[in-house]
Amino acid sequence: MPRPPKPFSLPILLIRGLRHYAAVNLAVLAAAAIGVAVLTGALLVGDSMRHSLRALAVEGLGEIDHVLVSDLFFREELADELNQTGARVTPVVILNGAVTHAQTGARANQCSVLGVTPSFWDFGEIDPDWSRLQPFETILNAAMATEIQAKEGDEILLRVPRPSAVPRDSFMGERDETVATLRLTVVRILPDNGLARFSLQTTQLTPLNLFVPLQ
């Protein structure tokens, strides 16, 4: 009688199976490697982006630790009263505005208008010689100046919404003279670092900042 075939051992079956389906196995291995590489790259990019956003936010805030934001105005003297308690406080008015170059007509929308006092600059390393600024003079950061192609000595038209205690879209809201226009002279352009890029929004884009005396 013929002998029954000798059964294959499990290792031999595995080796022969891998050899027979080598092309399929290599394709699966390549797909798995690509998937791991994509996931690893995404994690690295996400971590790098978070680090970059945090670094930009911290740079733009300088030594500022806390910000109290109100939709309505409060007394400027409140900052002085808090400073007497040992805290370092400065009042700031932040508005969204539109800027137009008075000579060329170049326009920038959605820029940040910051009304500040000399104490604002104590929270950073920039010294813009703020005490010499006159009421209708302004300082721009480089991004704002580039956007409207402005240089020192140029005049710009600033348009900001007039404050209202009642929302304008409500029945009791005021609808006349909703925008105020100021003609300002650019006396200085700051590089886009430190408090010159101050913003309460977390973004990689450099904010278009315009600084004017708080009064």
Structure confidence by residue, pLDDT tens digits, 102-140: 999 999 988 999 999 999 999 988 888 888 888 899 999
According to the model, what pLDDT value does residue 115 have?
93
Global confidence as pTM: 0.68
pLDDT digits (tens, 9 = 90+) for 1-22: 555 555 556 677 777 776 777 7
pLDDT value at position 116?
A: 92
The pLDDT, as a whole number, for residue 57 is 66
| C-alpha–C-alpha distance, residues 93 and 160, integer Å | 12
Q: pLDDT 10s per residue in the chain (215 long)?
A: 555 555 556 677 777 776 777 787 778 878 888 888 887 777 666 666 666 667 766 777 888 888 888 888 888 888 889 988 988 999 999 999 999 999 999 999 889 999 999 999 999 888 888 888 888 999 999 999 999 999 999 999 999 887 765 555 555 555 556 788 999 999 999 998 889 999 888 777 889 999 999 88
What is the structure's pLDDT at 154?
A: 94
